Structures are given as structure tokens and as C-alpha cells.
Structure 1
């Protein structure tokens, strides 16, 4: 009973603080077969992997856009950050054009600002994180895009916070 009372006291203390809540932000890693989704916490401190949207059915883009819009509504997302897959030398390639086309279609589905963020090396970094976390190579495919999305989002948040 004492532990419960302490937990209630702690909860009331946290609730009484004037916490500077920030807007929840979504990060997206757009790919030809999947879209990695990450979401920030309400304080704007962390970017958490959230979901991988599979794009392997008919009308795959329409369904993907509908799912993103659903998450935006459910999680009260106020901004979306989409990874921009520029080449290592900074030039735009075919993937950039496809991503920009995706963003234009997404704009018609959601009423929140969409920001582009350089995503160079995020998939490589995501693979390293999963490796260090002990995720087997054959199991990484299901997580790598959402982890990459969390890196894209984290880098954007750090840039916005001047870190």
C-alpha cells in the first residue's frame, strides 16, 4: 500500500508541474516497399520508432497515405518530417523526385506542415543500432525503416533545438 501511495504522490507532483509540452512530431522514412514511422514524445525530447507501413498491396500508396493520416489524427501530430534521400555528394537523384511526389500527395491528406530533412546514412546508422541491440540480421528488415525514421526525426529535433 505504501508503494501505491508513493506512486500516487509522484503522479500528483508531476501533474502539478508546469510542463512545457511541445507539439508531437512524426518522422517518415519513405521507401519503395515500406514507410518507416517515428513519433516524438510530448516533451519533444525523444524520437521513438513507431511503425513500419508495408507497401506491397494494390493501391499501396493510397493505403499508406490513409494510414499516415490516421496516425496524425490519433496521435495529434502537429508536424511531419520526411527524410530526403539526397546522394552522398548532395545531388538529387530519382529517389528524391519520388519522395517529393509522395510529399505532394501527403499534403492533400494531412493539414500539418511537412518539412524535408536530409537522411544521408540514416539506414546505415539504423542497421548499426539494431546490430548493437542484438537484433538478428534476418529480423532487422521489419524494424530498420522505423528506426531510420526515428533518426531522421531526432536529427531534425536536435537541429531545431540548436544542438
Structure 2
């Protein structure tokens, strides 16, 4: 792909006190979620209605700039058995076209079950069908981003323990 499509470990070198943006790329919408500056909590942000790539990318990058984002976490919709289908191919194509437009590091994150988990949560909360439709994409983006944030925290915690073995 490109040098700014990176592994999670590369995200440990990002500047402190800066946000990450999570993306749930759908065919009709792009759900967005934003981390806090400590990169602990992902919050649903908004949903971009897809028009065409140029406009979608411009809207996405404008939002990233507005919030001081230092990295993008893009949900990768793998099949349940881990194989890549047409949705993965379209997600990779979107990122391949986005790469020349931004220096931001981009991380693919396995998003299997994210929409299902969010939909189940919304059903449990007795949200109406219209309400679910309005929020499911940005909530799925938050679910994706939270997974990456949690894993990042575990990596950083393990690195801190390795650096200082005397810590309790």
C-alpha cells in the first residue's frame, strides 16, 4: 500500500495528547468516532453521507483537521472466517485513494461484529428503527476505534512494564 498505512505498534509513536479518528466505511455513509486526547475513550462523532470519493475524502480530512487528529483507524470488514470479500476490497481501495491526500498514519482494524454488537446494544436500549439507523454507523466507528484504543493501551502498558521491571 503505502508508508502511511501502518501497524498498531506505529501508533505508539504518535504525539501525546492528540486524538485518533475511527471510520466505519459503508456504501452509503461513513461513520466517524473521535478519541479523547488521552486516547482512552472513543465517542461517536458524526456520519458523512457518501457522495463521491473526492467529496467524501475532503469532508473526512476537514473533520480530522478540525479536531487535531494524528491518526485514522479504519474498520476492515473481514468475513467471519477472516477472509477478505468485496467490502474489504472497497475499503482498501478507499484508503489507497486517501493515502496521497494526507500524511496521517492509517491503521486497518478488524471490525467483525462491530455493527452487530452496536445494533444489539441499541435494541437492548429499546431504540426505534429510525434512531438506530441514524446512529449505528458512528457508533460502529466508536466500537472499532475503542477496540484499537484498548489494544494500544495494552501494548503501551506492556512496554512500560518491560522498561521498568521494578514497577508493581
The whole-number CA distance in structure 1 between the counterparts of 2:99 and 2:125 is 35
2:166 paired residue number: none
**2:88 is the alignment partner of 1:93:** no
**2:30 is the alignment partner of 1:35:** yes
1:139 paired residue number: 131
Write out the 4+ residue segments of structure 1 that deviate beyond 6 Å after TM superposition. none
The whole-number CA distance in structure 1 between the counterparts of 2:138 and 2:125 is 15
**2:44 is the alignment partner of 1:49:** yes
The whole-number CA distance in structure 2 between the counterparts of 1:66 and 1:158 is 29
- Where does structure 2 lack aligned partners over 5 or more consecutive residues? 1-15, 156-168
Corresponding residue pairs, total: 141
The whole-number CA distance in structure 2 between the counterparts of 1:149 and 1:121 is 12
1:111 paired residue number: 103
The whole-number CA distance in structure 2 between the counterparts of 1:90 and 1:41 is 30
When Rg is computed on C-alpha atoms for both structures, the one with the higher figure is 1
Kindly state the Cα deviation for residue 134 of structure 1 after the two structures are TM-superposed.
3.4
Q: Paired residue for 1:128, among 94, 99, 120?
A: 120
- Where does structure 1 lack aligned partners over 5 or more consecutive residues? 1-20
Higher relative contact order (CA 8 A, sep 6+): 2
Q: Which moved more, 1:148-157 or 1:60-69?
A: 60-69
Kindly state the Cα deviation for residue 129 of structure 1 after the two structures are TM-superposed.
2.1
Scaled by the length of structure 1, the TM-score of the pair is 0.82
Over aligned residues, Cα RMSD in angstroms?
A: 1.6
Deviations 1:34-67 (A, max 9, x none): 1000000112111000011111x4xx22111000
The whole-number CA distance in structure 1 between the counterparts of 2:125 and 2:100 is 38
The whole-number CA distance in structure 1 between the counterparts of 2:135 and 2:99 is 26
Q: Secondary structure at the match of 2:103?
A: coil
